[in-house]
Every structure is written in structure tokens, then in C-alpha cells.
Amino acid sequence: MGDPRMKPLAECRLYTFVDTAYLAGRDAGDVARALCDGGSDLIQLRAKGASLGEVEALARAVLPVTRPAGVRLVINDHFDLARRLDAEVCHLGQEDFFDAGWLKVEQLRGPSARPEIGLSTHAPQQAQRAMAAGADYLAVGPVWGTGTKPTARPVTLEYVRWAAQHIAVPWFAIGGIHLGRLDEVLEAGATRICVVSAILQSPDIAAACRSIRERLP
């Protein structure tokens, strides 16, 4: 990455979200600040159904918070926007990457190392394909059913156990994870996790982050 404020992905543990579905009228920048204060390593901006202009406006409100804090901003879905804003990371689903005709991350990104690219995976075959494509990190999930992806079938802890044995790049367990399930997912081999609603629905976002962060290896 070349930015001394950003720790390497391998050292990142807590991946959180500014998700417009859970803002409940709160300012995106304020939520991002609380996530940073709570110990987030990456913050994904997710705004399903928003126009590109709306996503850009949100990103421009969040970047001045995350960057000085040394926290990567992840733009969900919109690679061209991530590149234009010089965001640190872009996250893409299987359909956004492979179904769009890309086979290698370098085809999409070119010779630049930025933005880093993360890919969602829901099964071992997808993880192997994403690693072969050169993804910088993988998301593994949804481990449990989750309101953020209500139609997605849970991959269960079995896939987490497989990931711990076979995925050679940084990976994050995601989907239905909260404090009460943390031990289960860590015992299955996860060392990095994504948390959405359990943090964003908390009255104290920073404290919710800290309570999870202090339990991570």
C-alpha cells in the first residue's frame, strides 16, 4: 500500500461497516468516527440501492475520517469510484467480478497496487478461484443467516473450518456474527471478522466495537 498509517491486511482483525440500511438518520461521518474510535481496521461503505452520486457523497464524507485514523475505507461494488477517490480497497461479489468477465485482479486493477480488492466467497471452490485470481483478501460467509443478506444461504462453521486450513490470503468471517457467537467462530479457526448489525444497532458504536475487538486474537 505504501501508506505508513495503514497496517498490513494480515494484521487487520476487525472489519466494520457504514451501511445505509442501519444508519437510522445518523451521519455517516459520525458513524465512521465511532467505528474508528472502537478499533476498526477496515470500514466498508455499503449503500445498496443508492445512486453512484449518493455513494460518492457518502464516501467523501467518510474518507476524511478514516484516512487520518489509519483505517482502510472499502468501497462496495463500485471499482471505478474506488479508483477515482483513491480509496484503499474495493470489495466485489462473485457476480461483480467473475460474472463480469474478470479472471485476474490485475486485469481489473492494472499495474497499480491500489485499490486492494476483496472478493466474497460462499464455498471452497469460490475461495480457490478467488485466490487464483489474486484477491488481496476474501470474505467467508454468511456463516449464519443475516438480515443484511436475507436470501443468502448460511455457509455454517464448516466453511470457516475449511477456510482456516486452506485459504492462504487474509480472510474475514462474515454473516450473523455478534458477541454471543464470537467464541464459536474463533474456535472454528477465524482470526478476522466482519460485523455489521451487531455494531451498527448498538446505542454506543465505539463501545460495541471495543467489546468485540478485545476478544480477537
Average pLDDT of the chain is 95
Report the share of the chain in percent with pLDDT over 90.
Answer: 92
Mean pLDDT of 154-164: 96
pLDDT in tens, 103-138: 999 999 999 889 999 999 999 999 999 999 999 999
Question: With 50 as the cut, is the pLDDT of residue 198 above it?
Answer: yes
Query: So what's the pLDDT on residue 29?
Result: 97
Closest by Cα among 57, 153, 46, 30 to 91:
46
pLDDT score recorded for residue 44 = 98
Classify domain 9-213 at the CATH superfamily level.
Aldolase class I (3.20.20.70)
**Residue 148 pLDDT:** 67
Q: Nearest Cα to 167, choosing from 197, 192, 143, 187?
A: 192
List the one residue out of 151, 145, 97 whose CA is nearest residue 120: 97
Strands 14-19, 137-140: pairing is unpaired
- Looking at residue 55, its pLDDT comes to 98
Domain locations along the chain: 9-213
pLDDT greater than 60 at residue 1: no
In this predicted structure, the answer to whether residue 200 has a pLDDT above a threshold of 50 is yes
Residues 141-166: what's their mean pLDDT? 88
Residue 124 CB neighbour total at 10 angstroms: 17
CA–CA dist 199, 148 (Å, integer): 13
Provide the pLDDT for residue 5: 75
Q: Summarize pLDDT for 26-68 with one digit per residue, the tens.
A: 999 999 999 999 999 999 999 999 999 999 999 999 999 999 9
Nearest to 156 by CA among 173, 168, 170: 173
**Confidence check: pLDDT of 146 > 80:** no
Residue type, 162: W
